[in-house]
Amino acid sequence: MSSTTPGTADAAGRPQAAWLVLGGLHLLNGTAPLADADPVVLVPLDRPFEQTFPGNTVVVDWAALGTVRLEARDVAGTRTHGAVAQGAGLFPDMLPGAELRAAVAAVSDAANGPLVPLFYVSSDGTSAHVHSQIRFLAEDACFIRITEEPVPAAGIEELGWLPQALARHAEQFLFLNNHQRYYRKCFPGKELEYKYTLTPPVDAWTLTLELYRDVKGGALPGYLMEYRDEYQAWDYLNHLFEVTGPTEDERGYASFIPTTDGKHLLKRKWYAEDAFERRETHTYGLSLADDGGFERYVTEELKVEAVRLPSFRRVRYDINFESARTGHVYGIFFDHCSLVDARDVTLNQCELEYLRSRTAVEPDEADVSKEMAEIATWLESFLRERGLNSERGFYSKRTFLKDAVAARPELARPVV
């Protein structure tokens, strides 16, 4: 059971503590202001969920909490009530459980609206940080830090920090309260990626699942599976043109990818040589057909010089995970590419890419490079253990297709 004053000791011997804060949904969605009579329930935890302080992303599994104490009060502090509950019973089917409802009723005479997880608060003993709930389900909830600067650790139970936290949440309601809109992108318009070219045969499916098992199991300390978006499977065609001019700055490629609505996504990348960082844009909803339409778009809309390379099919399996400390999200992909007109010509790769950042505070772009290097070192060990190439590189699909054309020149068609 959690004690009234939770605490563990960090590596430096300083006390640490953490609380869940439960209360009315109106406090997050702004449908009513904070009132002195509003009930709030603090749930002191046996240990903080972060490995570093301050962290960014916290996922709380209700069942993993075990037995917890509910410290209910009204905001004014005129009424208090203590009770005991099971973590798994806090929000069965996302609805407040019996013990939680009873604790709230003991400090409030009014009919209360929906009860939800509001915040996760953690302290290093001197200062504290507040994390807002951005999504929760019957099994767990996800919180991200909203405080740029810490609040005093003393008196967390007195809720002196609550009005400031609610104001901060309200400032970012568009970012925090909308499904899957709590992301931002460091290095906008750029792709950061390491590639590992693998010698076939490669069982991309099994490798992805083994990697997924290891990361989810904690083999990469400090990283969590991206909340409710941790595994993806993809299978699509690419009709790729190498852009050769008219200027050096235009070099790269333009690839037309069929989408499920019968249209095409245009993926455009700018680079002269294969590299870690490349400029990239995506344009959706192009109504084109492979009857000369791609060629016309390249010349008339993009106004570039290009050579069509062989079309290929890409089968890809992804795992997505994020740094609990920074909120930066990364993907590791295993893929198999084969030429449409020469299925025996293949490319097998593993890729590590920065994807996005789930953070309400200003992200530190420098952390991305540090974390990617850290992840790459771990990934290379994973590959070596399986007898696979672990040499960090940048071998692109464009270069693969050019190499294929060198062996099959008739597959290249200049744009006219």
Average pLDDT of the residues in 88-94: 97
Asked if residues 82 and 70 have their Cβ atoms less than 8 Å apart, the reply is: yes
Burial class (CB in 10 A: 0-12, 13-18, 19+), 107: buried
As a whole number of angstroms, the distance between CA 128 and CA 121 comes to 7
Average pLDDT of the residues in 194-199: 98
Q: What percent of the chain has pLDDT over 70?
A: 95
pLDDT at residue 414, rounded to an integer = 54
Task: Give the model confidence (pLDDT) of 98-155 as tens digits.
Answer: 999 999 999 998 777 899 999 999 999 889 999 999 999 999 999 999 999 999 988 8
Average pLDDT of the residues in 188-201: 96
pLDDT at residue 310, rounded to an integer = 95
What's the pTM?
Answer: 0.93
pLDDT at residue 77, rounded to an integer = 95
Query: What's the token pair of residue 279?
Result: 């400029």
Task: Give the model confidence (pLDDT) of 49-67 as tens digits.
Answer: 888 889 999 999 999 999 9
DSSP states along 125-142: SSEEEEEEEEEE-SSEEE
As a whole number of angstroms, the distance between CA 314 and CA 127 comes to 49
Query: What's the token pair of residue 174?
Result: 């568009």
Task: Give the model confidence (pLDDT) of 142-184 as tens digits.
Answer: 999 999 999 998 889 999 999 999 999 999 999 999 998 889 9
Which residues are paired to 81 by β-bridges? Answer: 72
The answer for residues whose C-beta is within 8 angstroms of residue 249's C-beta and 6 or more apart is 270
Q: Which residue has the tokens 């807002």?
A: 132
Task: Give the model confidence (pLDDT) of 330-360 as tens digits.
Answer: 999 999 999 999 999 999 999 999 999 999 9
